[in-house]
């Protein structure tokens, strides 16, 4: 087990940032940690990386008690924090090299890894540029690349793709997948749910300091996303369409601009056949029809909305 | 390699950039050679105990203390820069304890102070060569002044770094501190003959004590008053050092 926490709790005065989190994350997994702003994601990372001590609860990282032996934990993990971190007056190349030195990586390996990472993260053109002269996205790429200068068993990444362009983002995600295949465990927080869906073996959704659900992306969708969305675009506008479709039960129907119908139902196939029958009977022409599977984003938004409800 | 040494290596790399070195060398050289010789027309000689010094020798020896202060204030700002650029937290999630980080800054400041003192002593040496009174205490005095002065001014910069968040506030404070230390001291001019309030101001400034000790070492003017200045300097440096360490230990993440 790479990460194990029990009843993890952290408060700052009256503010409860993390409220009884239990985690069990196996080795070689990419674990996604999703939540809205202020949900407790970054605080959880700070607790797990020993940056701040918990108010109560236990943390075991790579089999080590992280509260009693934080340094032993830190020697075996890598951390890409949410906030930018860089040495402004060092060049990209030099900052990678120095970071390796700080981790006690020998000179030959440092040189080799610097060249490798400059290539992987497409930093060749800016390798001699100082960090202070880089764009936010370039700096972020350096910050992420830098973390691979040293050996580690577990990598924490707090929204690492913020500021990256789509190609750099995909490049990073694929690199992380390769690293996980080679045995690295990755704890990954993000707001970009398509990213989590693409990358993660397991996902936890957190809000208000509590974990709402933990499962594989597919299992989350099947558990929480039975409802499907069907969109029908009509060729023409029909004023009495609302009246015609009102009799169908077990679904929510929305009419948009008079030519678009959006149907949401957990029995989408049955509802769709009823809708189609009515449209055909009334000679209403359909221009386009699409059925969309539930996305992780919809599940996430629903979960967060439910927990934010006043009675919850 | 020990974690503290690795951090000192990193600190020196980020501190000793070309801009810093030019600033550290050029600034005192301009003072020593331009101001030193230009003011000779106004200040014929300066009385220091029983010794009478020409002004270039006086200012060159003052510049050693000035440069220790200048360089260690800059080095003490490492903490501020680390916080500002996210490296403070990044280092503390790395293979380091907070004590490694604190010690590395202390060592860096002391090393920069020593290098600075050596540099300016070498540059200024031809100017105070005639008046130099080498004795057994000269080198120990210079090392004592470099180390204690570095810790003192490095602690001040560290304290400011831990207390302030905004860049504007930090710049205002650090520049004010620098101006007071640099110009309300005996680094540039003697206390004798200055108006009473200014002379009092001089002796509220640790740089005055530092340059007095350095001059005592170089020109052999050691007396009871210098001894008292050494005690005051060590006490102030120790107090500020303890405060800086406490603030750094408690610094929120």
Contact A86 B87 (CB under 8 A): yes
- Tokens 């605080």 found at: A43
- Tokens 């304890």 found at: B97
Mean pLDDT of all residues belonging to chain A: 88
More confidently predicted of A312 and A94: A94
Contact A83 B86 (CB under 8 A): yes
Q: Does A13 touch chain B (CB under 8 A)?
A: no
Phi and psi, residue A210, nearest 5°: -120, 145
pLDDT at A267 over 80: no
Contact list in B for residue A71 (CB cut-off 8 A) is 95-97
Instruction: For residue A255, name the pLDDT band (cuts at 50, 70, 90).
Output: confident
**Which of B95, B98, B94 shows the shortest CA–CA distance to A79?**
B94
Q: How many inter-chain contacts (A to B, CB under 8 Å) are there?
A: 63
Instruction: For residue A31, name the pLDDT band (cuts at 50, 70, 90).
Output: very high
Ranges A1-10, A293-302, B54-63: which has the least confidence: A293-302
Q: pLDDT tens for residues A159-209?
A: 999 888 889 999 999 999 999 999 999 999 987 888 888 999 999 988 889
pLDDT at residue A106, as a whole number = 94
Give chain A's radius of gyration (CA, Å): 24
Phi and psi, residue A148, nearest 5°: -90, 10
Q: Does A130 touch chain B (CB under 8 A)?
A: no
Instruction: For residue A54, name the pLDDT band (cuts at 50, 70, 90).
Output: very high
pLDDT at A312 over 60: no
Contact A104 B6 (CB under 8 A): yes
How many independent structural domains does chain B possess?
A: 1
Pick from A31-45, A110-124, A228-242 the range whose average pLDDT is largest: A110-124
* Cα–Cα dist B71/B48, whole Å: 26
Contact list in A for residue B87 (CB cut-off 8 A) is 85-87
Percent of chain A that is helix, strand, coil (3-state, to 5): 40, 30, 35
Contact B85 A87 (CB under 8 A): yes
For A90, which of B7, B14, B89 is closest by C-beta distance?
B14
Q: H-type helices in B137-223, by residue range?
A: 138-163, 167-183, 196-202, 206-219
pLDDT at residue B164, as a whole number = 81
pLDDT at A311 over 60: no
Q: Are A206 and A225 in contact (CB under 8 A)?
A: no
For A87, which of B14, B93, B94 is closest by C-beta distance?
B14
Q: Does B99 touch chain A (CB under 8 A)?
A: no
Percent of chain B that is helix, strand, coil (3-state, to 5): 75, 5, 20
Q: Does A98 touch chain B (CB under 8 A)?
A: yes
The whole-number average pLDDT for the span A3-24 is 92
CA distance A105 to chain B (A): 10
* Cα–Cα dist A21/A223, whole Å: 21
Q: Does A255 touch chain B (CB under 8 A)?
A: no
CA distance A87 to chain B (A): 7
| A172 CB burial (10 A radius; 0-12, 13-18, 19+) | buried
**Which of B100, B82, B105, B92 shows the shortest CA–CA distance to A73?**
B92
pLDDT at A115 over 90: yes
Contact B86 A81 (CB under 8 A): yes
For B17, which of A50, A83, A89 is closest by C-beta distance?
A89
Q: What is the pLDDT along chain B (253 residues), one digit of tens a residue?
A: 899 999 999 999 988 777 777 777 777 788 788 887 888 888 878 888 778 888 888 888 888 888 888 888 877 788 888 988 999 999 999 999 988 888 888 888 888 878 877 888 888 777 777 777 777 778 888 889 988 998 898 889 888 888 887 778 888 888 888 889 888 999 888 888 888 888 888 999 999 999 999 999 888 888 899 999 999 999 999 999 999 888 888 877 6
More confidently predicted of A252 and A101: A101
Contact A85 B90 (CB under 8 A): yes
Domain ranges of chain A: 3-223, 227-293
pLDDT at A259 over 70: yes
Tokens of A307: 């927990």
* Cα–Cα dist A210/A217, whole Å: 19
**43-82 in B: which are within 8 Å (CB) of A?**
81
pLDDT at residue A309, as a whole number = 65
* Cα–Cα dist B186/B48, whole Å: 11
**Which of B3, B9, B158 shows the shortest CA–CA distance to B75?**
B158
Q: Which residue of B has its CA nearest to A91?
A: B14
CA distance B162 to chain A (A): 17
More confidently predicted of B5 and A270: B5
Q: Is A251 left (phi over 0), alpha (psi -120 to 50) or beta?
A: beta
Q: Which residue of B has its CA nearest to A88?
A: B85
Tokens of A176: 């992380």
Name A263's Cβ contacts closer than 8 Å, sequence gap at least 6.
A229, A230, A231, A232, A251, A252, A253, A254, A271, A272, A275
CB burial string A87-111: b at 16+ within 10 A, e below: bbbbbbbbbbbbbbbbbebeeeebe
Q: Does B193 touch chain A (CB under 8 A)?
A: no
**CATH 3.40.50.12370: does it fit domain A3-223?**
no
Ranges A8-12, A147-151, A262-266: which has the least confidence: A262-266
pLDDT at residue A180, as a whole number = 93
The whole-number average pLDDT for the span A89-105 is 95
Q: Which CATH architecture has domain A227-293?
A: 2-Layer Sandwich (3.30)
pLDDT at residue A225, as a whole number = 65
Contact list in B for residue A86 (CB cut-off 8 A) is 85-87
The whole-number average pLDDT for the span A42-69 is 93
Give the residue numbers spanning the domain of B232.
3-250
Complex confidence, ipTM:
0.79
CA distance B199 to chain A (A): 41
* CA trace torsion B56, B62, B64, B70 (10° rounding): -120
């Amino acid at each position: 087990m790479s990460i194990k926490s029990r009843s993890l709790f952290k408060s700052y005065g009256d503010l409860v940032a993390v409220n009884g989190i239990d985690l069990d994350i196996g080795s070689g997994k990419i674990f996604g940690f999703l939540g809205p702003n202020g949900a407790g994601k970054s605080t959880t990372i700070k607790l797990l990386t020993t940056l701040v001590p918990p108010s109560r609860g236990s943390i075991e990282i790579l089999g080590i008690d992280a509260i009693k032996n934080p340094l032993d934990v830190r020697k075996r993990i890598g951390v890409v924090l949410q906030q930018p971190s860089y040495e402004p007056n060092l060049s990209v190349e030099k900052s990678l090299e120095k970071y390796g030195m700080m981790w006690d990586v020998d000179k030959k390996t440092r040189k080799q890894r610097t060249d490798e990472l400059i290539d992987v993260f497409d930093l060749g053109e800016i390798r001699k540029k100082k960090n202070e002269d880089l764009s936010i996205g370039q700096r972020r790429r350096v910050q992420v690349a830098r973390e691979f200068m040293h050996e580690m068993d577990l990598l924490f990444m707090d929204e690492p793709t913020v500021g990256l362009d789509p190609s750099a983002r995909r490049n990073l995600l694929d690199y992380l997948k390769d690293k996980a295949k080679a045995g690295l465990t990755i704890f990954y927080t993000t707001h970009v749910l398509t990213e989590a869906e693409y990358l993660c073996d397991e996902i936890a959704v957190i809000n208000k300091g509590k974990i709402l659900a933990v499962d594989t992306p597919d299992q989350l969708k099947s558990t929480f996303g039975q409802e499907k969305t069907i969109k029908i675009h009509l060729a023409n506008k029909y004023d009495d369409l609302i009246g015609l479709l009102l009799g169908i039960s077990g679904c929510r129907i929305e009419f948009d601009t008079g030519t678009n119908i959006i149907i949401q139902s957990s029995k989408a196939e049955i509802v769709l056949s009823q809708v189609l029958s009515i449209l055909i009977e009334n000679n209403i022409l359909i221009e386009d029809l699409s059925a969309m599977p539930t996305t992780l984003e919809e599940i996430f938004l629903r979960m967060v909305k439910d927990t934010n409800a006043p009675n919850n | 390699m020990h974690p503290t040494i690795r951090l000192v290596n990193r600190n020196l790399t980020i501190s000793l950039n070309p801009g810093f070195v030019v600033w550290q060398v050029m600034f005192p050289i301009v003072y020593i050679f331009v101001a030193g010789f230009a003011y000779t027309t106004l200040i014929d000689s300066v009385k220091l105990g029983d010794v009478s010094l020409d002004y270039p020798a006086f200012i060159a020896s003052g510049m050693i203390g000035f440069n220790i202060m200048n360089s260690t204030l800059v080095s003490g700002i490492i903490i501020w820069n680390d916080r500002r650029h996210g490296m403070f937290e990044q280092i503390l999630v790395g293979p380091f304890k907070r004590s490694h980080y604190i010690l590395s800054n202390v060592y860096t400041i002391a090393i920069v102070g020593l290098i600075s003192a050596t540099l300016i002593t070498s540059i200024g040496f031809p100017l105070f060569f005639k008046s130099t009174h080498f004795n057994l205490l000269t080198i120990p005095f210079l090392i004592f002044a470099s180390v204690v002065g570095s810790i003192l001014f490095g602690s001040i910069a560290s304290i400011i770094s831990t207390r302030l968040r905004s860049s504007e506030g930090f710049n205002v404070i650090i520049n004010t501190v620098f101006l007071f230390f640099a110009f309300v001291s005996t680094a540039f001019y003697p206390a004798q003959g200055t108006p009473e309030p200014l002379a009092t101001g001089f002796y509220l400034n640790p740089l005055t004590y530092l340059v007095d000790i350095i001059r005592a070492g170089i020109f052999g003017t050691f007396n009871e008053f210098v001894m008292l200045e050494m005690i005051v300097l060590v006490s102030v440096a120790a107090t500020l050092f303890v405060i800086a360490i406490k603030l750094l230990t408690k610094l929120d993440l």
